[in-house]
Structure 1
Amino acid sequence: MGMSVTISAATEHDAEQILKLQYLCYQREAELYGDYSIEPLTQTLADLRTELGEGCVLVARLGPEVVGSVRGTVDEDGVAAIGKLIVHPRMQRHGLGGRLLAAIEERLAQERAATRYRLFTGHRSDGNLRLYHRNGYARIGVEEVNRRLRLVMLEKPATPFATSA
């Protein structure tokens, strides 16, 4: 009998599992760009706990295990910054990334009045770029970080979500 994945708000108790999963998921990105000093691999547990307290953090659970997560904040202009969308490698390519993205968009629109969503990924991260384009994001710019890495900035307008009854 299989379990289904549920998505909910992260709690303080999820911090260590999120950080371990983040470390696992960003290994491929670090390898792709030849840079293991990227922020997701150097973030501390204290920094993550601060994010849990200040932003909107969701987790995907398979039973008690955290198998995915995403974070977002909204600025005073209503622009939501979405980041650190991670899915355990064994759970990838089953729609969980898209579900997490939709869930954070809905939460940020309903609870924090987001009017636009903005995110970024590395220029070689083809899977990420496909996911974001498939979910309505359009490229708005590219920022060169160094000779190996360019960040592709993507954005889309927020759409009204029906409230769940």
Structure 2
Amino acid sequence: MGMSVTISAATDLDAEQILKLQYLCYQGEAELYGDYSIAPLTQTLAELRAELGAGCVLVARLGDEVVGSVRGAAGPGGAAVISGMIVHPRMQRHGLGGRLLAAVEARLAAEGATRYRLATGHRNEGNLRLYRKWGYVQVASEQVTRKLTLVTMEKERREQDAESAQGAAGAALATTSR
């Protein structure tokens, strides 16, 4: 029998696990750019708890363990920003990142999002590949430091997404994979 991973809304009780997982997941990113002072590695528990109360934060659980998370916020004019997607290294390359992305998109669509925007570092080929696979295209890039350029990617919500957003948001949060 296989493992079951569920995706649901994060609660304040998840904050510490999310922060620890975020610290683990962003070590590779920091190494890639030679910068261990990036925001995900310096974020405090209080700052993360504030994010939990301000937007949509989802977690992927394997039993009681948080093995993935993603954040999203609906903005003005139908724009939504997706950020902070993390998947435990042992769970990567098994489709969990795509499931988290689909779940947060569905949740944001139910809140009226008509397009989604996210950003990643220019050297993070895994993220760039995943986002392209899910229909995101590069719309901008910004050199943040000598070593880091942020690539901003965006996609429009598809019509079939709009028609099923209400049902999909609930279904995505209750989804289970075996």
TM-score normalised over the length of structure 2: 0.90
Q: CA deviation at 1:105?
A: 0.2
User: Which position in structure 1 is the counterpart of 2:119?
Assistant: 120
Extract unaligned runs of 5+ from structure 2: 172-178
Identity %: 71
Q: CA deviation at 1:145?
A: 0.3
- The SS at the match of 1:101 is helix
Matches within 5 A, 1:151-162: 151-159=150-158, 160-162=162-164
Q: CA deviation at 1:2?
A: 3.1
Distance 1:161 1:84 in 2: 27
Q: CA deviation at 1:76?
A: 1.6
- Which structure has the higher relative contact order (CA within 8 Å, separation 6+)? 2
User: Which position in structure 1 is the counterpart of 2:12?
Assistant: 12
Deviating above 6 A after TM superposition, structure 1's stretches of 4 or more consecutive aligned residues are none
Extract unaligned runs of 5+ from structure 1: none
Question: What RMSD, in angstroms, separates the aligned Cα atoms of the two structures?
Answer: 1.1
Residue by residue, what CA displacement relative to the aligned partner does 1:102-129 show, whole Å, maximum 9, x if unpaired?
000000011x211110000000000000
Residue by residue, what CA displacement relative to the aligned partner does 1:66-120 show, whole Å, maximum 9, x if unpaired?
000000001122111000100000000000000000000000011x211110000
- The SS at the match of 1:154 is strand
Code of the aligned partner of 1:66: V
* Bigger fraction of residues in helix: 2
User: Which position in structure 2 is the counterpart of 1:27?
Assistant: 27
Count the aligned residue pairs: 164
Code of the aligned partner of 2:65: E
Matches within 5 A, 1:90-129: 90-110=90-110, 112-129=111-128
Code of the aligned partner of 2:55: G
